[in-house]
Structures are given as C-alpha cells and as structure tokens.
C-alpha cells in the first residue's frame, strides 16, 4: 500500500484569519457557502463508456495521495506572497518556501496574487536512490490573478495552468533557487481519452507513487464546485472503494455482564452518512482476529473512524484499505448507492481498452465536423485586475 503524505504547513487557528480567507475564496469562486469548493468525481459504470464516446474527455492516472487546493495571495500589508493549502476538511495551512511570479512580468519579480489551483499531494519514491520526494501534482486552475476562469473549458484552464503558473514558477526557481522549498510542483500529465492503453502500459508502470485507477474529465466543461457528473473515476471493480464510518459493538465481559470486554474482537458495523450528524448502518465488516490484534497493538481506536473499504466478491467481505483522516464524514448514502452500482456494474481494464478504438473514432469525427484538432489555450494573457490582499488579524 502506498504512503499517504502529510499536508505540509502550519494550520491556521485564528478564527478571524480562517473566516477572512474562506470569505475570500468564496468571493473568488462565487460559491454559495464557505465550504471546500473542490470538484468531486462520480464512479465509472457501463453508461460512462457512452459519455466517453459522446464527448471529448481527457484521461490521467488517479494518484493515491491527498487532495488539496493551493491559494496564492499577495499580502497588501507586508507586500509579500502568502501560499495556503486547503484540504477537504476546509482546513487552511500556511506553507512557506514557495514563490509564484506574476505571468505578465518577464523579470519574474512581481508576485502572483489571488490565484487558486487544484492538485494532489503525493510521495514519489525513487527506487534507484531510495529517497522520497513530496510533490504537488497540479491539474486544474480555478482563478488566475482574480480572473474567474472556472467557467472556461478544461483545455483553456489547463493551458493557462501550464503556461502562466507552472512555467513561470519553474523559471523563477531555476533563476533564483530556493533551498528551503518544502515540495516540488509538477504539472499532471493528461492524455486523450482514447489513449487508455498507453496510460495503462506506459505511464502508470513508471509512476513513483501509488495509483488506484483513472480519472476522465470532459474537455469542454467548466469547473464544477461539488459533485461533477463529467469527472468520472475509474477503478478496477475489485478495487472500487467506499468510505464508511466504523462503529464497534463489544460483547459483555465474562466476569461482569454490565461491562464490555474491550480485548475481544467486536462486531464492526460500517455506516453510511445521511447528512448532518446522522449515520445509518450499511453492512458489517468481518474483521479478522489478526487485523483486530494488530490495531490493538498499534493503539488504534477504530470506533467512529472514517475508513476506506473495497468489496471482496469471493470472500463476500469488506477489505480495509486506509483511514481517511482527511475527511470529516463518510460517503453519503447517495454516493454509496452509486459506488455499489459501479461495483456490480463494473468495467474491467481490458473492456475499457477494447472500447478505446471506438472512443477515438468518435473523437476524430467530432474534430472533423468542427474543423479543429487538439484543444489549444489562448496565446494572449488576460489583463489582471487583482488588488493586494490584506489579511484580517
């Protein structure tokens, strides 16, 4: 199992600072609430193949890491750049040692401001050197210098991310150097949806971090805050997973029926979230004695923990994958229902590859009708109207 990276940075604890930043993000994204604005995919099923044939999609590997947004600001009080990671719990962490220049300044001296990036933290392991490297793989751009580009098509957003965020960042890093940089920034590789075979056989085997599937994203769609039906995550049916809350039920002690025997293996219930604070039973997890003893030895309290599980069809039991400490709640019952359908209606890798020729044919037909080829981003950068940000303290 791959290692899940810790999120670097100092957690903001000041209610005033947190409220100020959340309000700013809400304003930049024009969302109705101050909650985590990141988009969320739906699970892959046989109907998803029709979507890949009907519209242009890009595909990338689904990294086994931690999802975070990166907020880039210029503080109007100090005139210094500030960068913050925002996790799925909507916790803000101030991260130091990164510098993003404004894409319009060829000298790279003007700091970028009011920019919001989507990406994922991973730990890349170099087998030759035996060393680990923390990397932030960026794959989408929501706001650029206060410009709300989230309504643009993915091709335009990705082009701006590459040319006006990542490339200036790397040029500045090469010119200035930064020995204190806490992580590396890399642009996540995207392929056309019909290049599935290439992703499976060439790209994924060369990854230095864990992978648990594919992500398909519609090229023509804008960024959706919340669940997006045009972002589809594919996993091998045997690896399709659900995040449950674990609830333990202990049997009575042999010596005293009024007390519980906490050393004996309990009944492990898996609960789905119904919204708010309400949880309902979904199924039981037949935890093995060995697993239970290992958790006891490590001092891990499973009760009310959010954890990821996959269904083992042959054993008719759930397999524990990892704890989801990055989430406040388990999957909602509606998500559980859809993932369950995806498990039952799962598409195997070879079936997906077999469909790639049809996906390619339909893509080429659309391109000929439009008279265009690969999506390209605008060559002329938009004018920025970003004003310095002042942190409330």
Same domain, 317 and 229: no
Which CATH number goes with the domain that contains 282?
2.40.50.140
Residue 376 is assigned to a structural domain of this protein: no
Classify residue 142: in a domain, yes or no. Answer: yes
Same domain, 336 and 266: yes
Kindly give the pairing relationship between strand 115-125 and strand 132-144: antiparallel
Distance CA 136, CA 70 (A): 9
Question: Comparing C-alpha atoms, which of 58, 14, 88, 49 is closest to residue 306?
Answer: 88
Residues 44 and 165 in one domain: yes
Angle (CA) 233-328-132 rounded to 5° is: 65
- Percentage, residues of the chain above pLDDT 90: 74
Confirm whether 22 is domain-assigned: no
On whether residue 256 sits in a domain, the answer given is yes
Domain shared by 59 and 181, yes or no = yes
Alpha-carbon gap, residue 118 to 305, rounded angstroms: 27
Could you tell me if residue 381 is inside a domain? no
Same domain, yes or no, for 223 and 341?
no
For strands 132-144 and 184-187, give the pairing. Answer: parallel
**Domain coverage including residue 253:** 239-345
Query: Of the residues 236, 252, 287, which one is the last residue of a structural domain?
Result: 236
User: Which structure tokens are listed for 327?
Assistant: 């989430």
Domain termination residue (choose one: 197, 212, 236): 236
- The answer to whether 62 is a known catalytic residue is yes
Final residue before a domain boundary, out of 214, 236, 258 = 236
Task: Clarify whether residues 67 and 186 are in a common domain.
Answer: yes
76 and 128 inside one domain: yes
- The verdict on 248 and 337 lying in the same domain is yes
- Cα distance between residue 271 and residue 332, in whole Å: 10
Strands (E) in 35-80, as ranges, are 39-43, 57-63, 66-74
- Shared domain for 221 and 245, answered yes or no, is no
pLDDT of residue 52: 97
Q: What is the pLDDT of residues 180-229, one digit of tens each?
A: 889 999 999 999 999 999 999 999 999 999 998 999 999 999 999 999 99
On the CB side of 173, CA atoms within 13 Å amount to 19
CATH number at residue 200: 3.30.470.30
Whether residue 375 is contained in a domain is answered as no
Residues 6+ apart with CB under 8 A from 126: 132, 133, 208
Ramachandran class of 142: left when φ > 0, alpha when ψ lies in -120 to 50, beta otherwise: alpha
Q: What is the pLDDT of residues 113-160, one digit of tens each?
A: 999 999 999 999 998 899 999 999 999 999 999 999 999 999 999 999
Residue 26 lies in a domain: no
Pick the catalytic residue from 22, 34, 62, 264: 62
pLDDT for residue 376: 38
pLDDT in tens, 368-393: 888 754 443 333 333 433 443 333 33
Q: Tell whether 219 and 167 lie within a shared domain.
A: yes
Could you tell me which of 30, 38, 370, 5 has the C-alpha nearest to residue 231? 38
pLDDT tier, 256 (very low <50, low <70, confident <90, very high otherwise): low
Report the domain count for the chain: 2
Q: What is the mean pLDDT of the chain?
A: 89
CA distances, 206 to each of 41, 124, 233 (Å): 25, 11, 20
Residue 259 has pLDDT above 90, yes or no: no
Give the model's pLDDT for residue 43: 87
pTM of this prediction? 0.79
Tell whether 232 and 249 lie within a shared domain.
Answer: no
Domain contains 301: yes
* Cβ neighbours for 29, distance < 8 A, ≥ 6 positions apart: 37, 116, 142, 143, 148, 150, 225
Residue 342 predicted with pLDDT over 70: yes
- 76 and 165 in a common domain: yes
């Amino acid at each position: 199992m791959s290692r899940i990276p810790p999120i670097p940075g100092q957690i903001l604890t000041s209610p005033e600072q947190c409220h100020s930043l959340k309000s700013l993000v809400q304003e930049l994204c024009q969302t109705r609430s101050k909650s985590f604005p990141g988009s969320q995919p739906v699970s892959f099923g046989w109907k998803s193949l029709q979507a890949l044939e009907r519209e242009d999609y890009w595909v990338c590997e689904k990294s086994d890491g931690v999802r975070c947004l990166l907020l880039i600001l210029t503080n109007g009080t100090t005139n210094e750049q500030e960068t913050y990671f925002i996790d799925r719990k909507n916790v803000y962490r101030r991260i130091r040692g990164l510098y993003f220049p404004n894409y319009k300044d060829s000298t790279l001296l003007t700091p970028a401001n009011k920019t919001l990036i989507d990406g994922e933290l991973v730990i890349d392991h170099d087998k030759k050197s035996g060393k680990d490297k923390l990397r932030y793989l960026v794959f989408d751009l929501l706001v650029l210098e206060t410009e709300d580009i989230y309504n643009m098509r993915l091709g335009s957003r990705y082009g701006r991310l590459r040319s006006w965020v990542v490339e200036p960042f790397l040029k500045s890093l090469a010119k200035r150097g930064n020995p204190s940089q806490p992580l590396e920034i890399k642009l996540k590789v995207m392929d056309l949806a019909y290049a599935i075979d290439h992703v499976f056989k060439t790209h994924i085997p060369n990854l230095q971090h864990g992978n648990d599937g594919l992500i398909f994203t519609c090229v023509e769609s804008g960024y959706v805050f919340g669940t997006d039906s045009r972002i589809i995550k594919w996993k091998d049916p045997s690896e399709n997973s659900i995040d449950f809350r674990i609830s333990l039920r202990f049997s009575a002690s042999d010596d005293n029926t009024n007390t519980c025997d906490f050393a004996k293996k309990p009944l492990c219930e898996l609960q789905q979230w119904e919204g708010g604070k309400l949880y309902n039973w979904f199924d039981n997890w037949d935890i093995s004695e060995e697993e239970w003893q290992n958790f006891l030895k490590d001092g891990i309290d499973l009760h009310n923990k959010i954890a990821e599980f996959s269904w083992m069809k042959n054993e008719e039991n759930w397999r524990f994958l990892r704890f989801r400490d990055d989430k406040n709640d388990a999957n909602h019952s509606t998500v559980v229902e859809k993932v369950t359908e995806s498990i039952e209606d799962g598409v195997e890798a070879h079936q997906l590859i077999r469909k790639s020729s049809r996906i390619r044919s339909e893509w080429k037909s659309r391109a000929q009708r439009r008279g265009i080829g690969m999506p390209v981003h605008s060559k002329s950068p938009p004018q920025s109207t970003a004003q310095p940000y002042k942190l409330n303290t």
